[in-house]
């Protein structure tokens, strides 16, 4: 089974969590795209979605699924999103697709975060995947120096401007043994909009598409 087939397996499983009349939080990325495609089949029994990126909004609308402004929604049941890495405590690195800020916001409003990944994303210790940090453009070099002082190797993702008009720094060579502590530390740096560690708001349910089937924890 290839990686896309494993992603599809996880996405199909996540659709089983969709309740009638639900508003769904929808993440961003190739795994979530499979989930959005699956939503077409249940479109008539859901109210709509809150989206974490312009890309997911476009895809949802193309399928005729209404997309709500988060400010008009007081709360909803499930948020479905992928991850770049997830550890056994269900803490994650996210932001490979540069949508981390809106993802963190939508996840904060949801009661249950369902993370869907293929088995290559599960790790014991976070940090092999370079940690994305969204920054205000004028603060980029300042933030990069602070990240280097923390032991990382910051690299500006030069070809990307986020949906919020900001820049992304990818921090290489970090071994993240205390995700919550590092999330708080990096969030405090002036100019940081969002760090791609999701430990304070980690996943509640993990669905892994693997070569031998689906694993749920």
Active site residues: 103
Binds ligand 5RP (CB under 6 A): choice among 28, 51, 87, 162: 28
**How far apart are CB 120 and ligand 5RP at their closest, in Å?**
9
Rounded to 5°, angle at Cα 109 from 74 and 54: 95
> How many other C-beta atoms lie within 10 A of the C-beta of residue 45?
11
The yes or no reply on residue 195 touching ligand 5RP (CB under 6 A) is no
The yes or no reply on residue 127 touching ligand 5RP (CB under 6 A) is no
Interaction pattern, residues 158-177, with ligand 5RP; x per rule: CB under 6 A: --------------------
CB neighbours of 12 closer than 8 A, spacing ≥ 6? 34, 38
The yes or no reply on residue 81 touching ligand 5RP (CB under 6 A) is yes
DSSP 3-state assignment of 196? Answer: coil
**How far apart are CB 214 and ligand 5RP at their closest, in Å?**
16
Stretch that binds ligand 5RP, among 61-69, 79-87, 172-180, 183-191 (CB under 6 A): 79-87
Burial of 6 (0-12, 13-18, 19+ CB in 10 A): buried
The yes or no reply on residue 29 touching ligand 5RP (CB under 6 A) is yes
The yes or no reply on residue 94 touching ligand 5RP (CB under 6 A) is yes
The yes or no reply on residue 110 touching ligand 5RP (CB under 6 A) is no
């Amino acid at each position: 089974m290839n990686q896309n087939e494993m992603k599809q397996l996880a996405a199909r499983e996540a659709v089983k969590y969709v309740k009638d009349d639900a508003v769904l939080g929808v993440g961003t990325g190739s795994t979530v795209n499979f989930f959005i495609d699956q939503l077409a089949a249940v479109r008539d029994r859901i109210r709509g979605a809150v989206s974490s990126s312009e890309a997911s909004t476009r895809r949802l609308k193309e399928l005729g699924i209404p997309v709500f402004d988060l400010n008009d929604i007081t709360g909803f049941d499930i948020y479905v999103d992928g991850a770049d890495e997830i550890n056994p405590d269900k803490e994650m690195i996210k932001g490979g697709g540069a949508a981390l800020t809106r993802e963190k916001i939508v996840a904060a409003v949801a009661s249950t975060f369902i993370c869907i990944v293929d088995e290559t994303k599960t790790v014991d210790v976070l940090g092999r995947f370079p940690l994305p940090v969204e920054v205000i453009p004028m603060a980029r070099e300042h933030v990069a120096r602070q990240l280097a002082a923390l032991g990382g190797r910051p690299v500006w993702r030069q070809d990307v401007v986020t949906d919020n008009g900001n820049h992304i720094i990818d921090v290489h060579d970090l071994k993240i043994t205390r995700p919550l502590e590092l999330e708080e530390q990096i969030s405090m740096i002036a100019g940081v909009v969002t760090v791609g560690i999701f430990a304070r708001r980690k996943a509640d349910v993990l669905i892994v598409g693997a070569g031998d089937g689906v694993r749920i924890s």
